Amino acid sequence: MKFSVTVTLKKDVLDPQGKVVHNTLTNLGIDNLKSIRQGKFFEIEVNETDQNKAEDKVKEMCEKLLVNLIIEDFQINKLQ
């Protein structure tokens, strides 16, 4: 069973990397850009046929390693 996980910085957390990307895009001549924030993306495949169990597994991975819960939020989506 395949899942995607997107990890984003919480709203009030500064995103210096996104800021640099924003400036660079502006310097490249792209206008009309209002904001850009960068996050992480994972594609995770689990050997588990039960969807709830599989999702719990992915959640456990996020909480144990992939996500810094103090400054980041995450969202799990089933693929296909």
Provide the binding-site residues for its own copies, judged by CB under 8 A: 4, 6-8, 18, 21, 24-25, 28, 30, 32-48, 57, 60-61, 64-66
As a whole number of angstroms, the distance between CA 62 and CA 45 comes to 13
If the CB atoms of residues 14 and 41 are measured against its own copies, the closer one turns out to be: 41
If the CB atoms of residues 56 and 70 are measured against its own copies, the closer one turns out to be: 56
Q: In which element (H, E) is residue 70 found?
A: none
CA distances, 26 to each of 9, 34, 38, 71 (Å): 22, 10, 16, 27
CB of 62 to its own copies, least distance (A): 10
